[in-house]
Amino acid sequence: MWLQMRLSLWPDHSETRMRAEMDAWLSESSNATFVAEDTRNILYGFIEVGQRNYAEGCKSSPVGYIEGWYVDKRIRGQGVGKMLVMAAEDWVREQGWAEIASDTWLDNETSIQAHLALGYRETVRLVHFSKKLS
């Protein structure tokens, strides 16, 4: 189920690529994954938090970084996302790090509002560019 939620969060990934990324993620001791499940052990949310040496708007290093955060659409707005973020923040504190950061797409208003509601502040907006060279 974690695989399916990750594929919902990052739909441009193939299942093969996603499985490889999950294996790599789990092999790193500086990463943590927290899940939310119901009484039948059915997963309905997850958060992945890791370490980065730098994050926009942060003054310390290293910092905790929310790399992935997903809650099933059917139960959003019921506090599950907040519970997952609080678990990630607690884990970051246990690592001895003073800050946590995150990001989302410019047009993901749901995620932006969720971050703001949990006390995160917007630090910068980026537009990335690329050009294929022949």
Which pLDDT score is estimated for 36?
Answer: 95
Q: Give the chain's domain count.
A: 1
CATH number of the domain enclosing 113 = 3.40.630.30
pLDDT band at residue 72 using 50, 70 and 90 as cut-offs: very high
* Residue 9 in domain: yes
Neighbouring residues of 20: CB distance < 8 A, sequence distance ≥ 6: none
* Residue 51 in domain: yes
* Residue 64 in domain: yes
pLDDT (tens digit per residue) in 32-64: 999 999 889 888 999 999 999 999 999 999 999
* Residue 107 in domain: yes
Examine the pLDDT at 1 and tell me if it is beyond 90.
no
44 token code pair: 């309905």
Cα separations in angstroms, 15 against 5, 11, 57, 71: 11, 9, 33, 19
* Residue 131 in domain: no
Q: What is the pTM of this model?
A: 0.89
Phi, psi of 11 (to 5 degrees): -70, -15
CA 77 – CA 132 distance, rounded (Å): 41
Residue type, 83: M
pLDDT band at residue 92 using 50, 70 and 90 as cut-offs: very high
Contact yes or no for 58/101 (Cβ under 8 A) = yes
Q: Which domain holds residue 8?
A: 2-117
